Amino acid sequence: DLWQGIDFSRSKAEARVDGSTGVKFKDVAGIDEAVEELQELVRYLKNPELFDKMGIKPPHGVLLEGPPGCGKTLVAKAIAGEAGVPFYQMAGSEFVEVLVGVGSARIRDLFKRAKVNKPSVIFIDEIDALATRRQGIFKESTDHLYNAATQERETTLNQLLIELDGFDTGKGVIFLAATNRRDLLDPALLRPGRFDRKIRIRPPNAKGRLEILKIHASKVKMSESVDLSTYAKNLPGWTGAKLAQLVQEAALVAVRQGHGSIIQSDMDDAVDRLTVGPKRVGIELDYQGQCRRAITEVGIAMVSHLLRRYENAEVECCDRISIIPRGQTLSQVVFHRLDDESYMFERRPQLLHRLQVLLGGRAAEEVIYGQDTSRASVGYLADASWLARKIITIWNLENPMVIHGEPPPWRKKERFVGPRLDFEGSLYDDYGLIEPPVNFNLDDQVAQRTEELIQDMYEKTVSLLRQHHAALLKAAKVLLNKKEVSGEEIDYILDSYPPQTHISLLL
């Protein structure tokens, strides 16, 4: 027998004994509700007999669900770490083998070892890989490998269900699993008695992001002068994993720059690296090209500052402008994010102001070069068109209009239900508000109204920038010389060159 002597059942699971995961709840931030619920498991693991005596049934299994990188593994380790018990971790994919019986043997082995060393924690990451919805009656395919793999997966899943059902005898073992695709899981697994608890691990909000940054900053040398809260605020949607990576990246930059600790410019560089990419050397636009870029980016930044100054606009102000090519971009404007509440219900005036900001690039070109416009601002113009269409259609903020076409499936399904986490592609922001998938007919009427709106806002923007011709030129000149300009410098230039000032300055 070819396989004789080889023990396939030996799971690759690594047991780390006596709290040596080393992770504690203090290492986890931004998911307080989940941590709160999981505390109970720690209490149980520390003293399972007490729970028995009191007649409290321990939770069977706990499913952690949520997008990657938000701390599911981390929090599972923290439970074992806090309770000081062994932690048996395996990935769902490690059970998926073509060889018949290997997966289920590994499951048996994993649970056996955890029970021997109880109290203990079993954690299966990406459980969807092993517990995908079974196909009911097994359908033979002509592909034998496929048949074998499917059958094997189903046997493995059955074994897992058996272990979970027999859990009462294995008191003192907590079974945790994580997935970001709950929709793929076999319903049998989600039945009561298997996963008693389903805990959602969400991406952190601004406050959570700050706490996570603080945790990771404390592990490196971070200068006191770095204002972590600005980064927390300006990086919406960043997960714990991404923020941890940011701090690591900044530390690398600091070392490369010969700085004794991480300073703000290192953090900015790291943000840019992780968003647009590293600086590109050896690619240099000709001077004319750089001028166009500078005018466009300054136009965008300046419109936002002017609208805030003179029209009390609630739009993002510019943090910095750069014409250093990075990754796929030749230049960029980085904005400060507004307070989170401002994004909850954006109002029409605010959105129209933002539309003006996006049109600021082309408007600036027109102010400086007249009809001799270039492609430098097309990206922003595309964004502007998209925003205008959303204002008119999905958000219906101009004169209310009938949107033709089918409502998006999301609308049909969840019309009267509060927003839910949906793993099938709808976007959730920090508040759980979702953006319905865009699905509308761009009929003639919509097209015409979009055009009118853009035209209207564009004219306003051109005339605004014309009044500040001098400041625009000056800021572009500074940007061309220094390659990077901060929002404060833009403000300073606006102070020094009030409206209607004239300067003669050649780019």
Query: Which residues, including other chains, have CB under 8 Å from residue 433's CB and lie 6 or more apart?
Result: 344, 419
Among 11, 21, 25, 30, binds ligand ADP (CB under 6 A): 30
Percentage helix, strand, coil, to 5, in the chain?
50, 10, 35
CA distance 417 to 362: 42
28 lies in the site for ligand ADP, by CB under 6 A:
yes
- 4: number of Cβ within 10 Å: 5
Among residues 68, 166, 193, 407, which is the contact residue for ligand ADP, using CB under 6 A? Answer: 68
- 3-class secondary structure, 493: helix
- By CB atoms closer than 10 A (0-12, 13-18, 19+), residue 177 is buried
Q: Binding residue for ligand ADP (CB under 6 A) from 41, 70, 387, 480?
A: 70
* Contacts of range 217-225, beta carbons closer than 8 Å, 24 or more positions apart: 217/247, 217/262, 219/247, 220/247, 220/248, 220/250, 220/251, 220/262, 221/251, 221/254, 221/260, 221/261, 221/262, 222/247, 222/261, 222/262, 223/261, 223/262, 223/263, 223/264, 225/263, 225/264
Interface of this chain with ligand ADP, residues 128 to 187, rule: CB under 6 A: 178
CB atoms within 10 A of CB 34: 20
Contact present, 336 and 227 (Cβ < 8 Å):
no
Task: Name the minimum Å distance from CB 237 to ligand ADP.
Answer: 13
Stretch that binds ligand ADP, among 65-73, 358-366, 423-431, 496-504 (CB under 6 A): 65-73
Range in contact with ligand ADP (rule: CB under 6 A) among 27-35, 168-176, 217-225, 290-298: 27-35
Which of these ranges, 237-245, 346-354, 399-407, 484-492, lies near ligand ADP under the rule CB under 6 A?
Answer: 237-245
Half-sphere exposure of 313 (CA within 13 A, CB side): 23
> In the complex, what is the shortest distance from the CB of residue 27 to ligand ADP, in angstroms, rounded to a whole number?
6
Among candidate residues 356, 353, 243, 235, the one with its CA nearest the CA of residue 299: 356
Per CB under 6 A, 244 contacts ligand ADP: yes
**Per CB under 6 A, which region of 4-12, 66-74, 264-272, 356-364 contacts ligand ADP?**
66-74
Dmax (CA) for the chain in angstroms is 92
Question: Residue 296 corresponds to which tokens in the numbers above?
Answer: 């466009």
Of 297, 316, 366, 489, the catalytic one is 297
Cβ neighbours, 10 Å, residue 291? 22
Interacting residue with ligand ADP among 13, 29, 306, 472 (CB under 6 A)? 29
Nearer to ligand ADP, 240 or 361 (CB): 240
Least Å distance, CB 9 to ligand ADP, is 26
Of 240, 299, 325, 487, the one binding ligand ADP (CB under 6 A) is 240
Q: Taking CB under 6 A as the rule, which mask of x and - marks residues 354-373 in contact with ligand ADP?
A: --------------------
- Taking the complex as a whole, how short is the minimal distance between the CB of residue 219 and ligand ADP, in angstroms? 9
**302-361 positions binding ligand ADP, by CB under 6 A:** none
The single residue among 71, 86, 172, 360 that binds ligand ADP, judged by CB under 6 A, is 71
* The only residue of 59, 61, 69, 361 in contact with ligand ADP, by rule CB under 6 A: 69
Is the distance from CB of 196 to CB of 17 less than 8 angstroms?
no
Is residue 31 a contact residue for ligand ADP (CB under 6 A)? Answer: yes
Q: Which is nearer to ligand ADP, 125 or 154 (CB)?
A: 125
Give yes or no for a cis peptide into 119 (omega within 30° of 0). Answer: yes
User: Is the Cβ of residue 215 or residue 301 nearer to ligand ADP in the bound state?
Assistant: 215
Let me know if 311 is a catalytic residue. Answer: no
As measured in angstroms, the least distance from the Cβ of 398 to ligand ADP is: 41
Task: Report, in Å, the least distance between residue 285 CB and ligand ADP.
Answer: 37
Closest CA to 414 of 434, 440, 394, 393: 434
- Contact status: 241 vs ligand ADP (CB under 6 A): yes
Contacts of 35 (CB under 8 A, 6+ apart): 25, 28, 75, 78
Q: Minimal distance in Å, beta carbon 183 to ligand ADP?
A: 17
Q: Name the site residues for ligand ADP (rule: CB under 6 A).
A: 28-31, 68-74, 178, 212, 215, 240-241, 244
The residues annotated as belonging to the active site are: 297
